[in-house]
A and B are shown apart, each in its own frame.
Chain A
């Protein structure tokens, strides 16, 4: 066994790949994928801070008793409501040719109530709580499991890992690797490590920034954020999805197909018998998420297709299971790589 040589070779492969994965213009969109949620939570933070300040200075002094607010019934008259509750802290009127719409906003000191009147009669009420950490933590958990793991990291890994082999076949430069005195298994390992470094650096940074943004208004501690868990799950997601898409890029001329199949397989996870469940990535990832997210009530049907909650497994088992799936897929990739031929003309 020649571990020293192999390690040096893996380092050399990683060196070569780094430039491609981190700096290429074609990989720019992965950064966009990772930056989008950070921006989202930045927006949220700005919004929370501003509305909090506004609430304290201009809304809270107008507080009305909660009982009075709850007593208003649909169909009530605009003048009656104003007479009972007093001057609202905000009033908006929308006048069209035939109809007028009016929104009156009140508060009980912590929540806000907005009454919507159409031509002077009450049509609906919407209430909003003030932002609080529990609610937001739950929203983050939902966001993380249903959107970040399943869509963003998923597609990011498709981009990064499929490119490792298929991208170089497209570019007609894979043969340079195959003509070096490197075992194909070592090559697969090196490429995988390179992809893993790129993916986990990009996405773990994104997770950390999201959590940081998210925590600012609540002065939350790192423990209460479960930051370590979230970042760990992010890295494991890159590992798991990475191995699958490395294999896909190695064998499939059109990696769109395997990606779609994996996407559907992971979505169908909920309905699978428990033995099959374990051959998936999302099952283990979901078991490791620190806060269990409730399935969203009014989820978009397109998204609902992709979403399910798997019943959890103990953490240690989940990590082992994920590593086992990854190892299996990588071993198979290495095996396939030994039979890899150069055939650039095929697509």
Chain B
């Protein structure tokens, strides 16, 4: 057998944006995700769920296009035969037992009764819920509900697994088992995409990490690469001064400045820099040269604060 063409084994986002009215969900995401365990990491509201919902057509992109192993999200018949998604919604159809739940939704695949029964039992076995399988889901604990969702996502043996905060609510033992399962699935050449707002939780197990903040992808790649990449992220500074355009002309020569933009009110300059310390030193120099600088302030503390939040130490100056 010839190996499938490259695009058949990748999940790709091409310049995807999604707005909820005025609110930004994710913006200009361009990604290509190879098989293995991929973690989407970012604080609450950073767009992890939005990204996963986009992948599965639960929401539609405002712009851009998405392909999952070459399939668009709007071909449910093809897509969901090879993709399983465990969402963050903690709700289930009313009145079903764990087994009925998985069995009933497997029937939607058009598979015969016996096969559905077999697959349902297998999946339940796999998440260690066999003894609770015939109890109503309404009586499950948080961890059990988390696991039954997981079982539902893996029941049809998909090549792509999308799991939104799958480790939430699991006790340490089950967590270790679940992580081992992800590893096993990834080793079989599948895509396992998990989200988390705690980097420590996933950095050891992930083959690659995608860091999200406020709807933007701030870093992606192997965890070691991500750690240094985030340090090199440009930082934005807003300078209020009397002659912003003159200042712009001055700072543009510096190679630490990536971008300089007049502020919309005309009374300031927005600057992106890779090396904040060097830039501040430069600024002291300029201030001596007749431009009156009122204030200097980081325009967005995003990257720094995300870094702090995720990795837990000050980014090195």
Contact = CB atoms under 8 A, between A and B. Distances in A.
A180 B78 CA distance: 10
Contacts of B105: 16, 176, 180
B76 A171 contact: no
Given A178-B58, A342-B53, A13 B95 contact: no
Interface residues of B, number: 30
Contacts of A12: 104, 107-108, 110
A130 interface: no
A339 B56 CA distance: 13
Contacts of B78: 181
A139 interface: no
B93 A184 contact: no
Contacts, number: 87
Contact of A175 (B79, B84, B87, B108): B87
Nearest to B92: A173
Overall SS of chain B's interface: loop
A61 B295 CA distance: 111
Contacts of A171: 91, 93-94
Nearest to B77: A181
A173 B91 contact: yes
Nearest to A6: B110
A93 interface: no
Nearest to B78: A181
Interface stretch (A19-27, A151-159, A275-283): A19-27
Contacts of B74: 338
Contacts of B56: 178-179
Contact of A24 (B76, B89, B95, B110): B95
Interface in B62-117: 74, 76-81, 84-85, 87, 89, 91-96, 104-105, 107-110
B59 A341 contact: yes
A178 B57 contact: yes
Contact of B79 (A13, A181, A344): A181
A184 B76 contact: yes
Interface in A1-34: 2, 5, 8-9, 11-13, 15-16, 19-20, 23-24
B60 interface: yes
A173 B76 CA distance: 18
Size category, A interface: 20 to 34
A177 B108 contact: yes
Contacts of A16: 93, 104-105, 107-108
Nearest to B152: A176
A20 B89 CA distance: 20
A172 interface: yes
Contacts of A172: 89, 91
A343 B60 CA distance: 11
A117 B59 CA distance: 76
A342 B105 CA distance: 18
A183 B104 contact: no
A183 B107 contact: no
Contacts of B58: 175, 178-179, 341-342
Interface in A162-193: 168, 171-173, 175-184
Contacts of B87: 175, 179
Interface of B: 53, 56-60, 74, 76-81, 84-85, 87, 89, 91-96, 104-105, 107-110, 152
Given A15-B104, A15-B107, A168-B93, 12 more contacts: A12-B104, A12-B110, A13-B108, A19-B96, A173-B94, A176-B93, A176-B105, A179-B84, A180-B76, A181-B109, A339-B60, A342-B58
13 contacts: A8-B107, A12-B110, A15-B107, A16-B93, A23-B95, A24-B95, A176-B92, A180-B76, A180-B105, A180-B108, A181-B108, A339-B60, A342-B53
